[in-house]
Chains A and B, each alone.
Chain A
Amino acid sequence: MNFLSYLISGVSLGSVYALIALGYTMVYGIAKMLNFAHGDIIMIGGFVVFTAISSAATSPVIAIICGIIVCTLLGVVIEKVAYKPLRNASPLAVLITAIGVSYLLQNVALLIFGSASKNFPNLFKNVPDWHVAEGLTVSGVTIVTICVTVVIMVGLTLFIHYTKPGTAMQAVSEDRGAAQLMGVNVNTTISLTFAIGSALAAVASVLLCSAYPLLNPYTGAMPGIKAFVAAVFGGIGSIPGAMIGGILLGVIENLSKAYISSQLSDAIVFAVLIIILSLKPTGILGKKIREKV
């Protein structure tokens, strides 16, 4: 029974990772860049929702919508200001810029909100816990997290496959030049990708902070990096890969916390990344790209 409850909370944590990893993997697939600032957009989302609830006393639904809007705008603005001018620059330059943006967001949050951790309210405390059996209870947050993630994933898959912007995204990720020749507006598509990724990050921030209620400027960094690990695990650029990778990573992290060592769980998660990358650099579902001269 203990094992099952660890497994379920692992799936719940993994769902959050999967949502964040979707943002990474979509941006990577389409803009071919690693958006290091993604984790910090989560943190900003958390602070927006927190401020909306605690100071303006709005209802949680409006607060969450505020969070999503702010994060979406932020994602698009970051793309326009920092990444778009570097579309043709070397990957190293883009990566360093992304690290700079991540640092900027953290330090702006540090100046505005201070370094002390805020206690994020549980927005889903009205959702009853589910007593499955003797000694096995699934908390309301866990249920909401898993349900929301499933809904978003199904929606996103449908969007990518059956709508025009979705197909445009696929086309750009396949071959940017050819897509442009076929009349796809690459800039709009990349902006749309950042918008969707950042909106998912806002949702992830609410779920993450409800489950782990400490909110400070560094809240987003670790989940962000771990979600990247998840995206690589599943094969970066692949949307189903991000989902599988996220959930597997959450389960691995929770089980290693429970059975190996709670202090070393981060090290174990990163060790998983390194092992995967050395054995199968393209991840579980990633495609192997042949290099042309």
Chain B
Amino acid sequence: MKNLNNMKKTTKQDMITYAIVLVMFLFCVVYTTTGLASNLFRGLLVPICVNVILAVSLNLTVGILGELSLGHAGFMCVGAFVGSVFSMAVQEAIPSVWIRFPLAFIVGGLAAAVIGLLVGIPVLRLRGDYLAIVTLAFGEIIKNIVNNLYLATDINGVHFAVGVEAYNNTVFDAATKKVYINGAMGITQTPNDSNYFVGFVLIFITLIVILNLVRSRTGRAIMAIRDNRIAAESVGINITKHKLIAFVISAFFAGVAGVLYGHNLSSLVATKFDYNYSIMILVFVVLGGIGSMRGSIIAAVILTALPELLRGLSDYRMLMYAIILIVMMLVNNNETMHMYVQKWFGGLNIKKWLGSAESKKKAKEGVS
């Protein structure tokens, strides 16, 4: 008990976050092993894990780095496709799923991180709106290219084509032909290795890496850049380096989430990873409280589970997302409305419970 009291305040906060995830995990274990869980619930578990990882990793860019990224689904797309192709390619060479699957995560995550680095180097010179639109553009480019990508092997080696014409002109040895990515049809034979157990392990890894990053010297430097770029630069913080660190780590975990997603269902198409998916991840982050990892986790869980559980409302789901985005922004950033909300819901103090002190402080100061 004495230990607990001596703990730093931030560490205590992080411990609560881990505890919440642990409780969710134990709940899932108990619920599924006792056979109470419906098929719908089982089907939801992996998507929830995917979205939690995505939300936490996007929060690193949006909340900690303070830059809006609208191409998060693009990194996820890279991770999903690279991870799935890797799994299919080594399925015979590495039959054990315990070795193959972690390798797939590393490969998929690294691929996304490399793309993140390539995107980040030119992009992070830009700021604000420009950066947002360029990440959007990159997301669309990735989707567009993957949607026209053909990858197949035969005895002569690997064949690779962009566009259906180029693919049809490729000559294959019919007996040994194996198609990996079939253009707009995507990947059709991904091994179904994902389960919620793997998902929760990944959530823990993501949280450990990102929370420790945020509390480290590097993390403080990143937040200093967010709060005042010029002041941060003047005390000797390397802006580009720290921005890239945050951006690449964020992309890496988006890629990892993509691998998990790709191994969940056996078919995988690029059009799934569109602008709307990126916005959905952003809604998780905004609703949970920008900068609050715990908030992101809770929002991702609720917003993934809710629409499936309330199927009747599915037509209005996107509409609700839109209204949530607008109202959250108006309430958090407008003095008058903030006051009204405080007056009506002051007793609840939800925000304090979610622990989003950083975002609140940021909104108050109107950091630009």
Contacts and interface: CB of A to CB of B under 8 A. Distances in A.
A101 B366 contact: no
A37 to B, nearest CB: 10
B129 A91 contact: yes
Contacts of B279: 99, 103
A229 B134 CA distance: 9
Nearest to B184: A263
Contacts of B163: 261, 263-264
Interface stretch (A42-50, A122-130, A134-142, A271-279): A271-279
Contacts of B130: 232, 277, 281
Contacts of B336: 85
Contacts of A101: 322, 326
Interface string B124-154: 0110111011101110110011011000000
A181 interface: no
Nearest to B331: A85
Contact of B323 (A93, A94, A96, A100): A100
A34 interface: yes
A92 B66 CA distance: 8
Nearest to B137: A270
A47 B90 CA distance: 51
A27 B322 CA distance: 22
Contacts of B62: 92
B299 to A, nearest CB: 14
A236 to B, nearest CB: 8
Contacts of B33: none
B228 to A, nearest CB: 9
Interface in A79-106: 82, 85-86, 88-97, 99-101, 103-104, 106
Indicate the member of B129, B230, B315, B362 with the most A CB atoms within 10 Å: B129
Interface in B138-190: 138, 140-141, 144-145, 147-148, 162-164
Contacts of B363: 89-90, 93
A103 B363 CA distance: 23
Interface string A276-293: 011001000000000101
Secondary structure at the B interface, as helix, strand, loop or mixed, is: helix
B275 interface: yes
Indicate the member of A99, A232, A267, A274 with the most B CB atoms within 10 Å: A99
B262 to A, nearest CB: 22
A104 B367 contact: no
A107 interface: yes
Indicate the member of A85, A86, A103, A293 with the most B CB atoms within 10 Å: A103
Nearest to A273: B137
Contacts of A277: 122-123, 126, 130, 134
A111 B315 contact: yes
B321 interface: yes
A252 interface: no
A228 B134 CA distance: 11
A221 B66 CA distance: 25
B318 interface: yes
A151 B298 CA distance: 53
Nearest to A266: B144
Contacts of B132: 34, 95
A110 interface: yes
B368 interface: yes
Given A85-B330, A277-B134, A264 B128 contact: no
B68 interface: yes
B329 interface: yes
A225 interface: yes
Nearest to A293: B230
A61 interface: no
Given A103-B318, A277-B122, A86 B329 contact: yes
Contact of B141 (A85, A90, A100, A267): A267
Question: A-B pairs with the 6 shortest C-beta distances?
Answer: A100-B325, A89-B333, A270-B137, A103-B322, A104-B322, A278-B122
18 contacts: A34-B129, A89-B334, A90-B367, A92-B128, A97-B330, A100-B326, A100-B329, A101-B322, A103-B318, A104-B323, A104-B326, A107-B318, A111-B315, A232-B130, A263-B147, A263-B148, A263-B163, A264-B144
Interface of B: 62, 66, 68, 70, 122-123, 125-126, 128-130, 132-134, 136-138, 140-141, 144-145, 147-148, 162-164, 230, 275, 279, 282, 286, 290, 315-316, 318-319, 321-326, 329-330, 332-334, 336-337, 362-363, 366-368
Interface of A: 28, 33-34, 82, 85-86, 88-97, 99-101, 103-104, 106-108, 110-111, 221, 225, 228-229, 232, 261, 263-264, 266-267, 270-271, 273-274, 277-278, 281, 291, 293
Given A97-B329, A103-B322, A267-B144, 14 more contacts: A34-B129, A89-B329, A89-B333, A94-B329, A95-B129, A97-B325, A99-B70, A99-B325, A104-B322, A228-B133, A263-B163, A264-B162, A270-B140, A277-B123
